[in-house]
Amino acid sequence: MLRASVGGAREVEASGETVREVLRGLISAHPATESQLFGGDGELNRYVNVYLGDEDIRVLDGLDTAVGAADTLVILPAMAGG
Amino acid sequence: MSPSGAEFIRQVKAEITETDPRDVHELIGNGVAIVDVRESDEWAQGHLPGAKHVPRGYLESRIEGVVPDRSQRVILYCASGNRSALAAHTLGHDLGYEHVESMTGGITLWKDRGYEVEQPKTFTAEQRERYSRHILIPEIGESGQHKLLEARVLLLGAGGLGSPTALYLAAAGVGTIGIVDDDVVDLSNLQRQVIHNTARIGVPKVESAEETIHALNPDVTVVPYQTRLDASNIMEIIEGWDIIVDGVDNFPTRYLLNDASVRLQIPVVSASILGFDGQLSIFKPYAGPCYRCLFPEPPPAEFAPSCGANGVLGVLPGTMGLLQATEVIKLIVGAGEPAIGRLLLYDALAATLGEVKVRRDPECPICSRDPSSITDEEMGVFPDYEAFCAAAG
């Protein structure tokens, strides 16, 4: 569903110093992603996990986790297809 | 004048230590080596639990392989206590074993006392041939194949993921396979659900799957459940299975399954698919995270597309289902590193297999608690369910 909101792309570029800034950058380029990523309280939806490398940002500093220029964020929605 | 055979055995018994079966029974599992010195055909009829087998004719050449430490306590037995007395004499006097005993009366007296006898596991000639390529690899071998034949694996769904998983687990000789599915075979299923076929359109999937499995491997017992898994039947259906394979196609059942499997402490090998993407992880209760630790809440319906609605590459459930089957076999035989605490991410279009870490959530509403405290009422319910219902009035 996220991919549909970014024109079918599997990887997109976005910049920022923290996970929050990167995701905000993504949203400003692709506004349709906002409701999938964030709830009304400004927090990440619980059904979307974000990983910096292979680590869940929830065990790092959450949305304030620092991001380097070469880092990859993985945005992973829950899937239930069988 | 040389003694008679009977006289010689009496002399030998006077020089060794004999131990009553009652005392041997107390010692089983306490680090004492129990060695059966009878012939192979006698051993095959049943032996003491945990005993090793060294026929008396091979005693001197093979005992070190079974009991390398000469200071270890060793108890030998045979059918009635004579051959083991002679063997004990050899180990003690000729080979330097320091604590050797012979069990009085042999396995005959053992059985008369009503103690348990273990039946050795054997393969039929056909099984030995059928599973020969498993038996050849050390990670499985004969003991692993016996474990597979004794294993009970429950498949949730005989659809995209369940079809390939069931086929390969059956071929591998998983002895009992349960299948839960209430659906019938539809023409649109056959692009990926390879356990069914065109002639079975309209036939219940559990029935079709059972027929295919029996044709592939008659060793396998299939337990069909032609029903939909729900809160009213889940505890009854999943109890008693060694491993559950989750291939269900909707979120509510995945949460329900998670909560019930944590409660019963049954590991779940879980996969999900959509489009060209697959995810896989093992949720082993209390040894690793549960599904709720990974995804505390399901997405709302508009963000939760199904394969039925959005489509899926037909090969993809094959790939993911076989990764599930591989993990099931590894869990059964105890080989390798199971995908516990890791989520494998397969991207078929990119041809990449990645992984991310999954950790136990210390505040998980389910697996942070004692399993006996999980109630029927809360199983499958989402964390904010009550607030949601209250808000909805």
Q: Do B304 and A59 touch (CB under 8 A)?
A: no
**Which secondary-structure segment (H or E) carries A22?**
helix A19-29
So what's the pLDDT on residue B30? 87
B311: amino acid identity, one letter = G
So what's the pLDDT on residue B29? 85
CB atoms within 10 A of CB A29: 12
For chain A, the residues whose C-beta falls within 8 A of a C-beta of chain B are 1, 10, 36, 45-49, 51, 54-56, 59, 74, 76-82
So what's the pLDDT on residue B388? 40
So what's the pLDDT on residue B392? 40
Check if the beta carbon of residue B275 is closer than 8 Å to that of residue B310.
yes
Minimum Cα–Cα distance from B314: chain A residue: A82
Q: Closest CB to B359: pick one of A59, A74, A79.
A: A59
So what's the pLDDT on residue B222? 98
Helical residues (DSSP H) of chain B, grouped into ranges: 5-15, 21-27, 40-43, 59-66, 82-89, 106-112, 125-130, 132-135, 141-150, 162-172, 205-216, 234-238, 251-264, 291-294, 307-310, 315-333, 385-391
So what's the pLDDT on residue B306? 63
Q: Which two tokens stand for residue B336?
A: 């390798």
* Residue B275: DSSP 8-state: B
**Which secondary-structure segment (H or E) carries A34?**
helix A34-37
So what's the pLDDT on residue B307? 60
Q: Do A56 and B296 touch (CB under 8 A)?
A: no
Q: Is B357 on the interface with A (CB under 8 A)?
A: yes
So what's the pLDDT on residue A20? 94
pTM for this model (two decimals): 0.79
Residue given tokens 């694996």 in the structure block = B153
So what's the pLDDT on residue B303? 73
| Contacts B355 to A, Cβ<8 Å | 54
* Residue B90: DSSP 8-state: I
Q: Which residues of chain B have pLDDT under 50?
A: 385-393
So what's the pLDDT on residue B383? 55
- Among residues 162-181 of chain B, which lie with CB inside 8 Å of chain A? 162
The residue length of chain A stands at 82
Check if the beta carbon of residue B112 is closer than 8 Å to that of residue B104.
no
Determine which one of B78, B290, B293, B307 is catalytic. B307
Check if the beta carbon of residue B324 is closer than 8 Å to that of residue B160.
no
Checking B51-59 for CB contacts under 8 A at 24+ apart, the result is B51/B77, B51/B118, B56/B83, B56/B86, B56/B87, B59/B87, B59/B90, B59/B91
Which ipTM score applies to this complex?
A: 0.91
Q: How confident is the model at residue A1 (pLDDT cuts 50, 70, 90)?
A: low
The verdict on whether B389 is a catalytic residue reads: no
**pLDDT tens by residue, B345-384:** 999 999 999 999 999 999 999 999 999 999 888 888 875 5
| Contacts A49 to B, Cβ<8 Å | 294-295, 356
Q: Which string of b and e fits B283-306 if b means at least 16 CB within 10 Å? A: bbbeebbbbbbbbbbbbeeebbbb
Residue B296 has φ and ψ, to the nearest 5°, of -60, -30
Checking if the pLDDT of A63 tops 80, the result is: yes
Closest to B243 (Cα-Cα) out of B294, B283, B192: B283
| Contacts A52 to B, Cβ<8 Å | none
